[in-house]
């Protein structure tokens, strides 16, 4: 089942039992598309103004990061209810860990701005 909310708190496990640890449920496609939009960001004059900058001295120092950001492929898929969405994959053997590291940073930033703030809760309170 796909969430309609890109980032939401989870307080129960898949069996409906309350969990003590914080759980964030993130819509994978939404966050991949947010990462792409962040990288392709344009200023009001429509000039390229990326919100992600990779510092480097030699191009080879960041080539592996660029490879891991650009290996993903988008497929159109449909939920059981008939709603279409984008599903992202990457070829087997081609890692996309750098892209997901960036996505986790975007999710952490959004989670830090959630209201009420995320806190550790006592399981038995």
Instruction: Answer whether residue 122 shows pLDDT above 80.
Output: no
pLDDT at 1: 41
Is there a contact between 38 and 50 (Cβ–Cβ < 8 Å)? yes
Residue spans per domain, the chain: 28-110
User: Whole-structure pTM over 0.85, yes or no?
Assistant: no
Which helix (H) or strand (E) covers residue 8, if one does?
strand 7-12
> For 65-90, what is each residue's pLDDT tens digit?
999 999 999 999 998 889 898 999 99
d(CA 31, CA 100): 9
d(CA 33, CA 76): 13
d(CA 87, CA 94): 17
Return the higher-pLDDT residue of 22 and 37: 37
Return the higher-pLDDT residue of 45 and 10: 45
């Amino acid at each position: 089942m796909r969430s309609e909310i890109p980032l939401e708190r989870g307080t129960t496990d898949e069996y409906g039992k309350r969990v003590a640890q914080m759980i964030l449920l993130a819509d994978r496609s939404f966050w991949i598309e947010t990462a792409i939009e962040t990288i392709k960001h344009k200023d009001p004059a429509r000039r390229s103004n990326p919100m992600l900058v990779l510092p480097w001295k030699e191009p080879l120092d960041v080539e592996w990061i660029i490879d891991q950001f650009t290996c993903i492929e988008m497929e159109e898929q449909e939920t059981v209810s008939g709603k279409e969405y984008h599903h992202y994959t990457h070829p087997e053997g081609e890692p996309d860990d750098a892209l997901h590291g960036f996505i986790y940073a975007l999710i952490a930033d959004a989670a830090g701005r959630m209201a009420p703030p995320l806190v550790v809760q006592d399981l038995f309170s």
